[in-house]
Amino acid sequence: MPDEEYHEWLRREGRIVIVGASLAGLRAAEALRAGGFAGSLTLIGDEPHEPYDRPPLSKAVLLGKASPEHTELPRLRRTDATWRLGVAATGLDMTAKRVRLADGEEVPYDRLLIATGVRARPWPKEDEAQLDGVFVLRTRDDAVRLHRRLAASPRRVFVIGAGFTGSEIASACRARGLAVTVAERADGPLVGALGGVIGAVAADLHRDNGVDLRTGVTVTGLEGDATGRVRAAHLSDGSVVDTDVVVVSLGAIRNTDWLKGSGLGAGPRGIACDAGCRAFDFRGIVTDDVFVAGDVARCPHPLFGYQFLSLEHWGNAVAQAEVAAHNMISAGADRRPHLWMPAFWSSQFGVNIKSVGVPAMGEEIMITQGSLAERRFVGVYGHQGRVIAAVSFDNSRWLDFYQQQIERGAPFPVEYRTVDRRPEGRAPMPAGFPDPSLPTHGPTVTLSGYSPADRQLVFTPARH
Amino acid sequence: MTQAPLLRRITDYANRADPYPLYEELRRTPVLQEEEGGPYAVSSYYDILGLLHDPRISSDAAHLTAPDDDELSEPEATGLPPSFLRLDPPEHDRLRRIANRSFGPPHRPHRIDSLRGELARIVTGLIDGFGDARQIDVVDQFAHPFPVTVICRLLGVPREDEPRFRGWVDLIVAALDPETRQSGDPQFLRTAQEARMQLGMYLAELVEQRAREPRDDMLSDLVADHGPDGAMSTMEVLSTAVLLLIAGHETTVNLIANGMLTLLRHPEFLHRLREDPALSVRIVEELLRYEPPVQLLPQRTCVADIELRGITIPKGSRIWLVLAAGNRDPERFRDPDRFDPDREDLGHLGFGSGIHICFGAPLARLEAQLALTELVRRLDNPRLVEDPPPYRQNAVLRGPRHLRIAVDAVRPSEAVRF
């Protein structure tokens, strides 16, 4: 059947299956219907809940300002879908075009979208992870459990890992008046995502808010009492911290285990796909009926050297789901590339942190507005003479400008005058990212590999 | 035959009733400097949006290389330090943060919402005041008195002082209009100057009172603030209060008057609003696009060279951001000259964007939504007596000077829904 004709049939009566019933899955389902898909639609999710929003779980929910039961994602339109919730997908047969479920059932598809996202990386020592009082935070159920324990006024909360989630948890605990210790392998919080210069500001932020922050240390073990409750954490510097709650915040693992042996190019770094969200098989050949979106996808981005980016960003999940949905029901010429500008936000200790671009690619940073000491600033990251990212602390209204600078490949260092440029912001300094060959945790962006340039894309070259 | 320069035609009073064909002409040269030393007018939606977030743009008058003397500049005769509208970071940010702590979330999340009942009562009272009249001036009898009353309640001006307070504000606002300034009646300008001083003294006294005995109002919050930025100085409180008064007044008058005018010109939406008050949200957003109360921002300058569409705007230039032209940019809005509250691409530059985005926007929205909903609910068969209505001189804060309408009856107010 010619391409055009096939897609017409697909839109009319095809079968689309979406594995993953969270933000990306839901938005893709809605976009499929908005795009005129009239066939059968099935959503498969391993959690029993309707799609819900995760950002509040580490913020308002922990503070008791929002109920974890009431973070459902707003429905933007009818999906008329069959929902298979509480049943995990366990396998994929790409030849027979079927998804296997945990209950033994098989669901056939004409087009498949994989949006299985990530899960919290558990504490690696299983017996210690089982101790009562040891938590991770990713799902609504995690949030319910942790919130209940925080509400019981523990004497101390011990957070392992000062990435965004760990920092937000520490912030929520301090706002509740709880004693908090945070242990971080790097020299400061957020170093993996934003570098050492910003990490130093984040460290001050933690300490000024009463967090007992331990940097440059790892946790060597968690100790339980006779009843199986956690009672202390042992650190690599020999110190011991008494605690009755431990939150393991060591980043995420991509949910690709169920694809083992499927022949898809899936692994611990996610599922590789092209800019049109089509998955690669393990040989590196692109499929045409399996699509990927959200945190689990790794997708080449032309603005960032065509590197395959995995972005654990809310906005990326939405944008990529829409592109994937569009491309699933469109013939070749009508397809669109996913060109989302990486952007994320965090709220901690009363500070709004926002970033655009890929800070981790930055070699240098300069503070173009405001001041690090006041913790209100915009920092711009440079990579090989061009602007590659920007971060703001309580200054997010300027970031649209820097996003345009990134898109245009504007030169770095930033020479022109800006309002509120301080003497400290006149020269770039090393951004202070750790050596990428050393293991670290919690960066929101992982960089790896290259793909050949997609010749159909035209970008405005840098002007310098 | 030579035609006057486009920017002069835009500010020319003769074109006040319908400047939109001129804006369309302006967008054909999206970055336009017509006269040596004159402003650069920027008129396309995305360019304006970009410049509103551009840190090379300053709102501080101190950066002007040329004197601030054209007809669009506000007279700075208050004798007060500049308000945050005319400042850059970090001073702007500090003052706006403190002001916001007294006005909105996270510190005062209910400030606006708790005014809802009060606003509804004020609206009802003003409409009741139309009595049995068969002809009403929506500006003089409604849109004009409404926002100043609201600001009194917000700041915490005691009821018994309201008439005095409104008297001063009326004089000051009248003196801001270029018509009055150009006619230059020295007697009137002296009176206005006098009013300004009296208002300042009155507010200073009220501020002191509130510092001693705080109440649940904005002035009390502004002087008693114990946030990380500390409190404002008395002079800063005065500047801020005067800013809220002036910036929040005529803009709201125009939004309501433009709104009623637009609804009368598009009666299908007037009828739909009467049946469905929830439509007021979309109507007000579309109004902010279609007939924005602030047509252009004339007071920005660039502190570095800016390249835009191949044109270099040199450092120190004055830039006009023509919001009303961007609001009708076909690159952003489908069928831009149609008033269509149902449009999917609803959006506008009516409140600006970036760090100077309208401070009072949540209040202005609520005021306009309530005002228009109640006007169409209670006025029986309203129709324009004249179209177009007479306009104010002001090209920046553009709106009808009078909006005379005929009605069959003013319906009695029922139980207030809000």
- Tens digits of per-residue pLDDT, A334-362? 999 998 899 999 999 999 999 999 999 99
Mean pLDDT over B272-276 rounds to 97
Q: Which residue of A has its CA nearest to B355?
A: A397
- Measured in degrees and rounded to the nearest 5, phi and psi for residue A178 equal -90, 145
Residue among B311, B294, B88 at smallest CA distance from A398: B88
CB A301 within 8 A of CB A320: no
Q: A420, B57: Cβ pair inside 8 Å? A: no
Neighbours of B407 (CB within 10 A): 18
For the stretch B121-137, pLDDT in tens is 999 999 999 999 999 99
Q: A397, B303: Cβ pair inside 8 Å? A: no
Q: How far apart are CA B217 and CA A151, in angstroms?
A: 34
Residue indicated by tokens 């400042």: B87
What pairing do the DSSP bridges indicate for beta strands B318-321 and B311-313?
Answer: unpaired
Mean pLDDT over A69-87 rounds to 93
Q: Which fold has domain A126-250?
A: FAD/NAD(P)-binding domain (3.50.50)
Scanning B199-258 for CB atoms below 8 A from A yields none
Rounded to 5°, the CA angle A372-A378-A380 comes to 110
Q: A398, B304: Cβ pair inside 8 Å? A: no
Residues of B in contact with A208 (CB under 8 A): none
B316 interface with A at CB cutoff 8 Å? no
CB A161 within 8 A of CB A233: no
For the stretch A99-128, pLDDT in tens is 999 999 999 999 999 999 999 999 999 999
Highest mean pLDDT among A6-20, A52-66, B99-113, B401-415: A6-20
Q: Answer positive or negative: Cα dihedral of A306, A310, A312, A314.
A: positive
A366 interface with B at CB cutoff 8 Å? no
- Average pLDDT value for chain B: 90
Task: Check residue B173 and give its pLDDT.
Answer: 76
CA distances from A308 to A258, A361, A452, B18 (A): 22, 13, 11, 52
Asked if pLDDT for residue A194 goes beyond 50, the answer is yes
Which superfamily does CATH assign the domain made up of A343-433 to?
FAD/NAD-linked reductase, C-terminal dimerisation domain (3.30.390.30)
Q: How far apart are CA A56 and CA A66, in angstroms?
A: 8
Q: B88, A369: Cβ pair inside 8 Å? A: no
Mean pLDDT over B283-302 rounds to 96
CA distance, residue B373 to nearest chain A CA (Å):
27
Task: Check residue B174 and give its pLDDT.
Answer: 77
- Measured in degrees and rounded to the nearest 5, phi and psi for residue B316 equal 90, -5
Q: How far apart are CA B5 and CA B10, in angstroms?
A: 9
Mean pLDDT over A54-67 rounds to 90
- Which residue in the set B53, B56, B89 is minimally distant from A417, CB to CB? B56
Q: Which residue of A has its CA nearest to B301?
A: A419
Asked if pLDDT for residue A133 goes beyond 50, the answer is yes
DSSP, res A411? B
- Measured in degrees and rounded to the nearest 5, phi and psi for residue B323 equal -55, -40
Comparison of pLDDT for B112 and B175, the residue scoring more: B112
Residue among B341, B351, B246 at smallest CA distance from B294: B351
Helix or strand or coil: residue A371? Answer: strand
Residues of A in contact with B88 (CB under 8 A): 419-420
**Among B47, B48, B49, B53, the residue to mutate for chain A (most A Cβ within 10 A):** B53
Residues of B in contact with A418 (CB under 8 A): 55-56, 303-304
Give the bridge partners for B136, in sequence order. B405
Residue A299: its H or E element:
strand A297-301
CB B28 within 8 A of CB A379: no
Q: B90, A400: Cβ pair inside 8 Å? A: no
Is A3-119+253-334's fold the same as A343-433's? no
DSSP, res A359? G
Helix or strand or coil: residue A156? Answer: coil
Q: Provide the phi-psi class of B355: left if phi over 0, else alpha when psi is between -120 and 50, else beta.
A: alpha
User: Which structural domains are found in chain B, ordered by start?
Assistant: 6-410 (1.10.630.10)
Neighbours of B390 (CB within 10 A): 13
Interhelix angle B234-265/B279-290, rounded to 10 degrees, is 100
- Which residue in the set B53, B89, B303 is minimally distant from A400, CB to CB? B53
Task: Check residue A9 and give its pLDDT.
Answer: 96
Residues of A in contact with B58 (CB under 8 A): 419
Q: A398, B55: Cβ pair inside 8 Å? A: yes
Task: Check residue A104 and give its pLDDT.
Answer: 96
- Measured in degrees and rounded to the nearest 5, phi and psi for residue A99 equal -105, 130
CA distances from A220 to A170, A179, A182, A443 (A): 20, 21, 14, 21
For residues A114-150, b (16+ Cβ closer than 10 Å) or e, as one string? Answer: bbbbbbbbebeeeebbebebbbbbbbbebbeebbebb
Give the bridge partners for B410, in sequence order. B379
Asked if pLDDT for residue A303 goes beyond 90, the answer is no
Q: How far apart are CA B324 and CA B289, in angstroms?
A: 7
The structure tokens listed for B87 are: 């400042």
Mean pLDDT over A399-418 rounds to 94
Residues of B in contact with A398 (CB under 8 A): 53, 55, 354-355
Helix or strand or coil: residue B336? Answer: coil
DSSP string for residues in B315-328 = TT-EEEE-HHHHTT
Residue among A395, A397, A392, A427 at smallest CA distance from A413: A427
Q: Which residue of B has its CA nearest to A395?
A: B355
Comparison of pLDDT for A450 and B11, the residue scoring more: B11
Task: Check residue A436 and give its pLDDT.
Answer: 63
Q: A418, B90: Cβ pair inside 8 Å? A: no
- Which residue in the set A378, A401, A420 is minimally distant from B88, CB to CB? A420
**Among A397, A398, A460, the residue to mutate for chain B (most B Cβ within 10 A):** A397
Task: Check residue A30 and give its pLDDT.
Answer: 97
Residue B296, C-beta contacts closer than 8 angstroms, at least 6 positions apart: B41, B72, B320, B321, B322, B323, B324, B325, B395, B396
CB A320 within 8 A of CB A117: no
- Measured in degrees and rounded to the nearest 5, phi and psi for residue A352 equal -95, 115
Asked if pLDDT for residue B65 goes beyond 80, the answer is no
What's chain A's Rg over C-alpha atoms?
A: 23
Residue indicated by tokens 């191949």: B310
For the stretch B213-247, pLDDT in tens is 999 999 988 888 678 888 888 889 988 988 888 88
Task: Check residue A456 and give its pLDDT.
Answer: 33
Q: How far apart are CA A194 and CA A434, in angstroms?
A: 10
Residues of A in contact with B56 (CB under 8 A): 416-419
Task: Check residue B66 and give its pLDDT.
Answer: 54
Residue indicated by tokens 């994937």: A324
Task: Check residue A451 and give its pLDDT.
Answer: 36
- Which residue in the set A368, A397, A404 is minimally distant from B50, CB to CB? A404
Mean pLDDT over B326-349 rounds to 96
> Domain map of chain A by residue range?
3-119+253-334, 126-250, 343-433
Q: How far apart are CA B197 and CA B192, in angstroms?
A: 9
Q: Return the biggest CA–CA distance within chain A.
A: 69
B4 interface with A at CB cutoff 8 Å? no
Q: A419, B49: Cβ pair inside 8 Å? A: no
Scanning B29-68 for CB atoms below 8 A from A yields 49-50, 53-58, 60
**Domain with residues A3-119+253-334, CATH architecture:** 3-Layer(bba) Sandwich (3.50)
Task: Check residue A305 and give its pLDDT.
Answer: 84
CA distance, residue A36 to nearest chain B CA (Å):
17
- Please classify residue A176 by burial: count the beta carbons closer than 10 Å to its beta carbon, then call 0-12 exposed, 13-18 middle and 19+ buried: middle
Residues of B in contact with A369 (CB under 8 A): 55, 89
Residue A326: pLDDT band by 50, 70, 90 thresholds?
very high
Residues of A in contact with B50 (CB under 8 A): 400-401, 404
CB B363 within 8 A of CB B150: yes
Q: Return the biggest CA–CA distance within chain B.
A: 68
Task: Check residue B74 and give its pLDDT.
Answer: 52
One-letter amino acid identity for A247?
Answer: V
Q: How far apart are CA A382 and CA A405, in angstroms?
A: 11
- Average pLDDT value for chain A: 92
**Among B47, B48, B91, B93, the residue to mutate for chain A (most A Cβ within 10 A):** B93
Task: Check residue B171 and give its pLDDT.
Answer: 84
Mean pLDDT over B259-275 rounds to 98
Q: A418, B50: Cβ pair inside 8 Å? A: no
CA distances from B213 to A41, A253, B151, B155, B234 (A): 64, 57, 20, 14, 15
Residue A235: its H or E element:
strand A230-235
**Among B49, B54, B101, B303, the residue to mutate for chain A (most A Cβ within 10 A):** B54
